[in-house]
Amino acid sequence: MSETTVDFSPAAAPLAEKLLEQALEIIGRYPVGRERSALLPLLHLVQTEEGHVSPRGVAFCAEVLGINKAQVGAVATFYTMYKRRPTGEYLVSVCTNTLCNVMGGQEVYDGLVEHLGVGHDETTADGKITLEHAECLAACDYAPVVTVNYDFAIDNTTPQAAVDLVEQLRKDERPAPIRGARICSLKEMQHQLAGFGDERDGAVADGPAGAPTLRGVSLAREHGIAVANFNIDAPITTTKPARDESAKAVKDPGPVREKPAQTGKLAAAGRKAAGAVKAAVGAVTDKVEHRAAGTSTGGGDVKDPQVRTAQQRNPDASTPTPDATKTDATAVPSNPAEAAGVADNPPAGDGKPAGDSVGNEEKK
Ligand code: FES
């Protein structure tokens, strides 16, 4: 794909002017013929400019990839990291999933709702904070956790600590996170998610696993628990080990031969089953032929359901009259409770189910 082959529509042109070069770089990472796989990073790229995936962003992705807007929309609306409305500079996510919830995550979220005056997926009037409650943020060992623009901001948080955090963010103070990379803006994070390096000092961070993450290992060591034959230095095999054919030769007794008596019984059962299948096929064929001719086989109504429905909608002289005994509205049920219900709900007389007129009166 080259720049000259893309002729952008007026909707996509403004973003193309700013993002085309990076978009082509992203697309170039994928094999020829598989360019549409670049859609996920392209959607993040669009969010570096707009903070969300707007109709213009959808048009740009569709046109640069040569797919249609419905295909882009199907992906953009599936993942929660693609925002459908303008977002704030800082996306504050509070985990309210099982473990965080047990540890107080819901109270943290509720405290922020009250303090900020916004709910899930809503942004403060100053455009600084978008709040969301999130499913597991993959840090259950530090529950409850809060992230800012997908970086861990507070572990083992409390409602007050979360309020202090958002107040600092509103003043653009960008407090140092508990661990990991420096807090950035949501648009800067989208640039990383689109697959581009972030040159800011401390923008990318790594480190050893913390004590809560390693708690299981420490406990196992303390109690002398180990997996038999486990060797941490053993290389991980990347291919399936070869099958041990010698073991198979000993275990596999070869094909089982039926005893003569069993063979005879099996053959009889097979003949019976074949006869049943043949009869069923014949019956179906017979019904299909009668259906095509509009006649009956004597086994009930065999008309094609489409034909039957059309006749009911547009009855003519040949359309059978419904069985009055089955639809008699005046028939009294033998069950006393049902009979009492019928007595309390006389038919409206206009073909509508009883009770419709009551609802209409209430609306007036
Ligand atoms: S349940 Fe909150 S991080 Fe897993």
Q: How confident is the model at residue 156 (pLDDT cuts 50, 70, 90)?
A: very high
Whether the predicted pLDDT of 294 surpasses 60 = no
Query: Does the beta carbon of 143 sit less than 6 angstroms from any atom of ligand 1?
Result: yes
Give phi and psi for 94, each to the nearest 5: -110, 125
Dist. CA 93 → ligand 1 center (Å): 11
Element (H, E) at 14: helix 13-27
Q: Give CA–CA dist 186/20, Å, rounded.
A: 21
Rounded to an integer, the average pLDDT of 79-104 is 96
Adjacency order of strands within the sheet including 146-148: 122-123, 129-134, 90-95, 146-148, 151-154
Mean pLDDT lowest among 23-27, 164-168, 331-335: 331-335
Q: Which atom of ligand 1 is nearest to the CA of 96?
A: 2
Q: How confident is the model at residue 57 (pLDDT cuts 50, 70, 90)?
A: very high
Dist. CA 81 → ligand 1 center (Å): 17
pLDDT, one tens digit per residue, over 121-148 is 999 999 999 999 999 999 999 999 999 9
CA angle, 339 as apex, 334 and 341 as ends, to 5°?
Answer: 150
Residues 6+ apart with CB under 8 A from 205: 179, 180, 181, 182
Whether the predicted pLDDT of 34 surpasses 90 = yes
The domain locations on the chain are: 8-76, 90-193
Q: How confident is the model at residue 36 (pLDDT cuts 50, 70, 90)?
A: very high
Whether the predicted pLDDT of 46 surpasses 60 = yes
Dihedral sign for Cα 355, 359, 360, 364, please: positive
The preferred substitution site among 97, 147, 152, 179 for testing ligand 1, maximizing ligand atoms within 8 Å of CB, is 97
Structure tokens at 101: 């919830």
Query: Does the beta carbon of 97 sit less than 6 angstroms from any atom of ligand 1?
Result: yes
Q: Report pLDDT for 179.
A: 79
Structure tokens at 185: 């803006």
Q: Give CA–CA dist 153/330, Å, rounded.
A: 71
For the chain, the straight-line distance linking the first and the last C-alpha, in angstroms and rounded, comes to 63
Whether the predicted pLDDT of 29 surpasses 70 = yes
The preferred substitution site among 106, 109, 137, 150 for testing ligand 1, maximizing ligand atoms within 8 Å of CB, is 137
Dist. CA 80 → ligand 1 center (Å): 17
Whether the predicted pLDDT of 248 surpasses 80 = no
Dist. CA 127 → ligand 1 center (Å): 27
Query: Does the beta carbon of 145 sit less than 6 angstroms from any atom of ligand 1?
Result: yes
Residue 208: DSSP 8-state: P
Rounded to an integer, the average pLDDT of 284-302 is 51
Rounded to an integer, the average pLDDT of 41-45 is 98
Query: Does the beta carbon of 98 sit less than 6 angstroms from any atom of ligand 1?
Result: yes
> Which of 3.50.50.60, 2.40.50.360, 3.40.50.300, 3.40.30.10 is the CATH number of 90-193?
3.40.30.10
Q: Give CA–CA dist 352/312, Å, rounded.
A: 18
Q: Give CA–CA dist 296/289, Å, rounded.
A: 10
> Among residues of the chain, what percentage have pLDDT more than 70?
67
pLDDT, one tens digit per residue, over 72-89 is 999 999 999 999 999 999
Higher-pLDDT residue of 296 and 74 is: 74
Query: Does the beta carbon of 95 sit less than 6 angstroms from any atom of ligand 1?
Result: yes
Query: Does the beta carbon of 139 sit less than 6 angstroms from any atom of ligand 1?
Result: yes
Query: Strand locations in the chain, DSSP E?
Result: 90-95, 122-123, 129-134, 146-148, 151-154
Tell me which amino acid residue 231 is. N
Q: Report pLDDT for 56.
A: 96
Tell me which amino acid residue 43 is. L
Q: Give CA–CA dist 92/149, Å, rounded.
A: 7
Dist. CA 170 → ligand 1 center (Å): 25
Q: Which atom of ligand 1 is nearest to the CA of 136?
A: 4
Q: What angle do the packed helices 159-170 and 105-116 form, to 10 degrees?
A: 40
Q: Report pLDDT for 177.
A: 81
Dist. CA 101 → ligand 1 center (Å): 8
Dist. CA 134 → ligand 1 center (Å): 9
Q: Give CA–CA dist 159/7, Å, rounded.
A: 51
Residues 6+ apart with CB under 8 A from 263: none
Whether the CB-CB separation of 166 and 157 falls below 8 Å is answered with no
Mean pLDDT lowest among 1-5, 207-211, 333-337, 350-354: 350-354
Q: Report pLDDT for 358.
A: 42
pLDDT, one tens digit per residue, over 183-238 is 899 999 999 999 998 887 777 777 778 888 898 889 998 998 888 777 778 877 77
> Among residues of the chain, what percentage have pLDDT more than 90?
48
Whether the CB-CB separation of 100 and 60 falls below 8 Å is answered with no
Tell me which amino acid residue 34 is. R
Q: Which atom of ligand 1 is nearest to the CA of 144?
A: 2
Structure tokens at 184: 């950035």
Whether the CB-CB separation of 156 and 146 falls below 8 Å is answered with no
Residue 140: DSSP 8-state: G
pLDDT, one tens digit per residue, over 316-342 is 666 555 554 444 545 666 777 677 766
Give start and end residues of each alpha helix (H) in 117-223. Answer: 159-170, 186-193, 215-222
Higher-pLDDT residue of 253 and 188 is: 188
Q: Report pLDDT for 130.
A: 97
Taking 3-state DSSP, the helix, strand and coil percentages for the chain, each rounded to the nearest 5, stand at 45, 5, 45
